[in-house]
Amino acid sequence: MKKCNVYTRTGDQGLTSLVGGKRVPKASLRLESYGTIDELNSQIGLLLTYLDNPTDCDCLTKIQCQLFAIGNILATDPESTTPGKCKITAEEIIELEHNIDVANDGLPGWRGFTLPGGCRAAALAHVCRTICRRAERLIYALDAQEPVDKNVTAYMNRLSDYFYVLACRLNFLGGTEEILWHKG
């Protein structure tokens, strides 16, 4: 078996390659976008270590796979003559909306803005939500410079909603009272 070096030294000068071969600065908005997707994916991995519900775990694992696809889409040079192989479909957005509805089913109605926290799993779901929102903002900023697939932006918008509802659900199921924000 041939050993694969983790280090290539090709990025030592602050450039990296997009899918398609184009070299871009590591500080580019495109890299910030898919780097934040990677950060979110890692936080989901941590969140999974606090969960034991197979439905939640399966849903989050599928989300992780879709985030890899989004990372691939964002890491692909839009000017490349070889189109990317990954896509986010309208059906995947609808499935995510369904998962939001399922997670929301049986929860008490909205009582006001909640402070992030609660049980550890819910607190991590809130961290995922805020990273997801940052990724979404970066992707929209990138979209202002060069077009990004509208299914990617829609998926990211729904995904932050999913994490909010998941946090509420985890607190509810764990018997942890959410702390409501009171402007003072």
Number of neighbouring beta carbons within 10 Å of residue 75? 22
- For every one of its 184 residues, what pLDDT tens digit does the chain have, with 9 covering 90 and above? 777 776 666 656 677 666 766 777 677 898 999 999 999 999 999 999 999 999 999 999 999 999 999 999 998 888 776 766 789 999 999 999 999 999 999 888 878 788 889 999 999 999 999 999 999 999 999 999 999 999 999 999 999 999 999 999 999 998 888 888 888 7
pLDDT of res. 94: 98
Question: What is the distance of C-alpha 169 from the center of its chain?
Answer: 19
pLDDT of res. 183: 80
User: How far lies 51's CA from each of 101, 112, 181, in Å?
Assistant: 19, 26, 26
Is residue 153 within 8 A of residue 136, CB to CB? The reply is yes
Domains and CATH numbers, the chain: 25-74+87-101+113-173 (1.20.1200.10)
Is residue 181 within 8 A of residue 140, CB to CB? The reply is no
- The whole-angstrom separation of Cα 175 and Cα 169 is 10
pLDDT of res. 54: 95
Q: How many residues comprise the chain?
A: 184
